[in-house]
Chain A
């Protein structure tokens, strides 16, 4: 991993950590408690940033995959696989924190309503991304197939966003991204934006480290010692 990449990742990580510490202080000591749901509504401040980062990560996967299929540049494939792994982690955060909130707010851990179902589908699509990558004998072919899955999977993201408007849904509609502007209390909005910033910075820090890992893996393969390369196909190994 190059010195510049490592330093960039460390600086982003430190800024993200400072943001996350500020977020926790705000969540537990500053932001007002929501009237009807009580303290459990504070899950919102990690649930929404995790969803934002997951969608951004899969957006990066789709863009990098289009670039990879077009230009055949290995760096774009490395970026795609690094972002996909982060996207899986943050989608898992969304899928695990949501039911904990839903159990108190809705009285059920899970319901097969459009937004929840499409988010679960997104998680499985990107699981498929890693399976396709490692399922072919020819690694280059696996990368190309995975790039197609990465692009198709990203089409699910706008569907998730509009699902609460087009279908009858238990999930609440957007409170920030609305044509008439956010309808959140100002302190809640500030806390949410601190969360979005902190999660974004942390994601890019870990993304750079993960990119460095993929680079080192490629170097190892070029040296001709694939047996020593952990998770050669670039999966979640």
Chain B
């Protein structure tokens, strides 16, 4: 189950990569592709995506930890 945890952590880092670019774009003013569009509530959008993935990753990590503990007990 260590592999599952490593995979989860790696995916978590991957998720953060496009976010940095979007933050840069939304803060980028006139040169940004999003310039001129309504950015009303963009913090709500980021919080919503963060909460969604935090819950989903939290569930995976919880499964990995419980499964790892059980498999260790079964082997031991």
Contact = CB atoms under 8 A, between A and B. Distances in A.
A and B found bound together: yes
Interface string A12-40: 01000100110011001100010001111
A39 B67 contact: no
B9 interface: no
A103 interface: yes
B27 interface: no
B37 A33 contact: yes
Contacts of B7: 13
Contacts of B39: 38-39
Interface string B37-76: 1111110110111011001101110011011011101100
Contacts of B51: 93, 96-97, 100
A25 B21 CA distance: 10
B67 A228 contact: no
A216 interface: yes
Q: What is the size category of the interface that chain B forms with chain A? A: 35 or more
Most buried by A among B11, B21, B34, B63: B63
B49 A46 contact: yes
B55 to A, nearest CB: 5
A89 B41 CA distance: 25
Interface of A: 1, 13, 17, 20-21, 24-25, 28-29, 33, 37-40, 42-43, 46-47, 50, 85-86, 89-90, 92-93, 96-97, 100-101, 103-104, 202, 206, 209-210, 212-213, 216-217, 219-220, 223, 225, 228-231, 237
Given A13-B7, A24-B18, A230-B66, 6 more contacts: A39-B34, A100-B45, A100-B48, A209-B64, A230-B69, A231-B66
Interface of B: 4, 7, 11, 14-15, 18-19, 21-22, 25-26, 33-34, 37-42, 44-45, 47-49, 51-52, 55-56, 58-60, 63-64, 66-67, 69-71, 73-74
